[in-house]
Structure 1
């Protein structure tokens, strides 16, 4: 590389450096050149720069990271295909999980595209390519930024949803779903647009393009870190609430858990729930949501680590441009050894991020798809595919989330509560946090046949008819049917039937039974 690089364009510069004035500025990412005037004329390091700053195996490691993303893409493809084809009882899908998987898919595509395109990293001997001079660079950089934004926003929304349900007992419904969809895809679209317009992407290391230093803090890194920070704070606030509920349940010696009746209205639930009841509710949700919580923490950790490393790299590059004397020893070594980089790598360690850190970032980003499948996937997916192939189950016919429509078995969704405490500590039937509508939402009541009031906290209240009731239905004025025959008897037993008939003579209430009445048709809609 050094021999070829010094053959053309060396000019007045010592090897292996090339004279900048001998190259055009009409293409490529000109600001990405590594040039200095310490040697007299402006002399530049041959492209790609990473081959001079890192050992020979650096390119092999970046290529290996790209192939790991192929494995991640296969895992995500299996997960998304299972969501789309298999019945919901096998997948426990939820739109928060589906959209997060799509976001991780975008991130993996950013590393996979270069495997097929095999792009040229350099526009000329000293200038790296950017999104304007290389299509593969534009696509890989855009997918990587879009995937990072989508992953951060959707784990942020998952953390918010969990916090609302556990800490505030709010059932997330259609309003939250549509707001989440608008936010989860609108913010990444805006973020990608701003990043490409005001900063751009170019080849900085490896075959995948990354965002340039210019304006990158304002249009990408700071906003990403803000959302990631809010996610972490929200997640730990939820953990803190769970710990508080647990500690309160330890000292709770009340007997209201088993003996108290239902609250008279929904808004009084929070005021009457005992610490033990709150602990059981929180415990059930945590048991259902631990996979999503782990996914949130993993992806947020990856993104924060990735952002910090890139910000640090940009800071080093900026300082080298402003104060090139920091790299004097390394430049002098390259000149003395005639471009033998291996003898000078030890002098370059303080001007670049070390190889182990860069590789850790790439590998962590590459295995996100594997983590998502392991934590959001279910073993029932494999049995579902087996049964589908054996024609034992019907494929899924509609691809909607738990918050969109009511299903016959909504408890199979990932974010739905499955157990309801019966007041004695036994968890058998589904229980929501709080339900105010018929829309099936995460941790919303299971749809049942007939007209039934949901049991929110597992306590049963039996209705006792009062001994004297003076209420009665009255026919609309002016519409009394002439065929109605009011029976004056009270509790007269029909012969041979054992059935007591109504007698309104001794009560204040009027009978609603009339000849020809069809009781089975009264509740027909």
Structure 2
């Protein structure tokens, strides 16, 4: 995911705060107790030598030049504590504003609203006409915790966060509910806050990366160095593969484990059929030879799962952070090349089956019987050229799902466009064959009704040519219905996966450019650290999980479907006959051996 952290709020929350550590509190009056932690806003009690307040000096006007002047426009309750002392204790708010207001204004705003209302309780007149003091709002304190916890915690300053149950040492009042508190007006609107939250300083490195994020080993302050610019920023990286963290916890792992198991079963089934067609003598003649060639391509495609079986990450990732490419992971290069080559070869051999069915059924032609040299050059050579070009341009890499494939930038011209050029004409030709079969069947039904009502020699004579062609079509369908079904199954699988990829995969590119959503997701992951909860933030921008797994399952089932279609009873009988024949040959050789031995000694 390109610049995933480039839109996160975490780094923005830390900008230049380290400079605060050097500021001393030298101007603090000796009568005030000030905590020297650079981010701690003091709430310690004033020494007991202060006298009790009197009505004449408890409430006073707040100066227009004060730290809280943007928020406090009322008479404040001071209880004999001078505003000058309180202002010194609030100087940390100035540092907070200077360093965070451009990148996380909501945190700064909430902190000002709470601390100013906590230190400067409002002198007000109640409904009964009596004077009263309004404390800070509990809801404002909770907003501080919500917007600032990750900021201060990541710096190791979590102790600076307010305790929402602690009374003010001036008014001795704890934060109260909104109905009876001093709710200061926010100076930051939501639009400004959201916009600023995705503006980060370049070259700042986070001191700590919260789980599940990992430390970028190449990140250096003041530079753009990164081990993976696509998934890292400001010293923290999303672990590889990123997709495991975008969906609810465990969904991706379990979903692709299921599809890998299905594809493994398909591989075993396909391997048995390949061995059968290679061993049994009747399977190496036309048109079974077309099926044999298709099965080899299918085995290459399905067998690619063996690279990732048991440990998909060895294909997906070259390190804990970096995605695999053909340059940093040879297994990824090999698997990607086999998937590309096997898929295109499989599509071409299915097309050859479809062309043969059309020629034989519609035109009663055996054109392809003696064309296997040309077929092998086209069906094996063409995919080899495409695969070589892909490898030459270094475009095999892992980006999504569970296999290495062509990169998203090149997958259409190098993979899906050639696949479409094969599959779409094959679909049209296959539909033409179906329509021809349907037309002949309807004509047969019509002529049968006519021959039943009109028992005449003329009508019978006129119907013979059609019946002859009809019988040819029916016979062809009966003989080659398995090849017909194979073509339909393969075409549906190709089209379904292609359409899924065409419609759903662009969502990932859109997500890479959607900085607001990514910022929200990263912030959620770092603050709540609840993957299941945070998945809801980004779910509408991702391919639906169920549809993605369905697409992977569909193409993984091809080997099993083909096995069901061609694993007919006659195949097992042929194996039985072949085994019996091998046994007889072996027995005959054993019988002849002693005879030659006797003749040898007799000589």
Q: Considering the TM-score relative to the shorter chain, is it more than 0.5?
A: yes
Stretch deviating more after TM superposition (382-391 or 297-306):
382-391
Q: Which digits, 9 at most, give the CA deviation of each residue in 1:220-242, with x for residues without a partner?
A: 11221231111111111111112
The alpha-carbon distance between structure 1 residues 182 and 77, as it changes in their structure 2 partners (threshold 3 A), is: same
Q: 2:317 aligned with 1:122, yes or no?
A: yes
Equivalent residue number for residue 578 of structure 2: 388
Equivalent residue number for residue 511 of structure 1: none
Q: 2:240 aligned with 1:47, yes or no?
A: yes
CA contact (8 A) 1:200 1:211 kept: yes
Q: 2:262 aligned with 1:71, yes or no?
A: no
CA contact (8 A) 2:345 2:383 kept: yes
CA contact (8 A) 2:517 2:537 kept: no
Equivalent residue number for residue 292 of structure 1: 483
CA contact (8 A) 1:111 1:144 kept: no
The alpha-carbon distance between structure 1 residues 92 and 234, as it changes in their structure 2 partners (threshold 3 A), is: closer
Q: Which digits, 9 at most, give the CA deviation of each residue in 1:294-342, with x for residues without a partner?
A: 11111111122222233344412222233323434323322331x3211
Equivalent residue number for residue 69 of structure 2: none
The alpha-carbon distance between structure 1 residues 378 and 368, as it changes in their structure 2 partners (threshold 3 A), is: same
The alpha-carbon distance between structure 1 residues 312 and 325, as it changes in their structure 2 partners (threshold 3 A), is: farther
The alpha-carbon distance between structure 1 residues 276 and 120, as it changes in their structure 2 partners (threshold 3 A), is: closer
Equivalent residue number for residue 203 of structure 1: 398
CA contact (8 A) 2:395 2:410 kept: no
CA contact (8 A) 2:286 2:369 kept: no
Structure 1 CA distance for aligned equivalents of residues 573 and 520 of structure 2: 62
Structure 1 CA distance for aligned equivalents of residues 508 and 476 of structure 2: 47
Q: Which digits, 9 at most, give the CA deviation of each residue in 1:146-180, with x for residues without a partner?
A: 12111111111111111122223322244433322
- Of 299, 302, 307, the residue aligned with 1:108 is 302
Q: Which digits, 9 at most, give the CA deviation of each residue in 1:401-460, with x for residues without a partner?
A: xxxxxxxxxxxxxxxxxxxxxxxxxxxxxxxxxxxxxxxxxxxxxxxxxxxxxxxxxxxx
Structure 2 CA distance for aligned equivalents of residues 125 and 10 of structure 1: 19
CA contact (8 A) 1:63 1:206 kept: no
CA contact (8 A) 2:287 2:369 kept: no
Q: Which digits, 9 at most, give the CA deviation of each residue in 1:7-39, with x for residues without a partner?
A: 9x96268745568771899998x57x2357xxx
Q: CA deviation at 1:394?
A: 7.9
Larger radius of gyration, structure 1 or 2? 2
CA contact (8 A) 2:356 2:368 kept: no
Structure 2 CA distance for aligned equivalents of residues 48 and 105 of structure 1: 27
TM-score using structure 2 length: 0.55
Residue 324 of structure 2 aligns to a residue whose secondary structure is coil
- Of 22, 32, 35, the residue aligned with 2:219 is 22
Structure 2 CA distance for aligned equivalents of residues 164 and 259 of structure 1: 27
Q: CA deviation at 1:206?
A: 5.7
Equivalent residue number for residue 349 of structure 2: 154
The alpha-carbon distance between structure 1 residues 120 and 292, as it changes in their structure 2 partners (threshold 3 A), is: closer
The alpha-carbon distance between structure 1 residues 80 and 365, as it changes in their structure 2 partners (threshold 3 A), is: same
Residue 309 of structure 2 aligns to a residue whose secondary structure is helix
Q: Which digits, 9 at most, give the CA deviation of each residue in 1:248-291, with x for residues without a partner?
A: 3344458689759xxxxxxxxxxx97222222111111111211
CA contact (8 A) 1:90 1:384 kept: no
Q: 2:438 aligned with 1:248, yes or no?
A: no
TM-score using structure 1 length: 0.63
Structure 1 CA distance for aligned equivalents of residues 458 and 436 of structure 2: 22
Structure 2 CA distance for aligned equivalents of residues 50 and 315 of structure 1: 15
Judging by fraction of residues, say which structure has more helix. 2
Which has the bigger relative contact order, CA under 8 A and spacing at least 6?
1
Q: CA deviation at 1:193?
A: 2.0
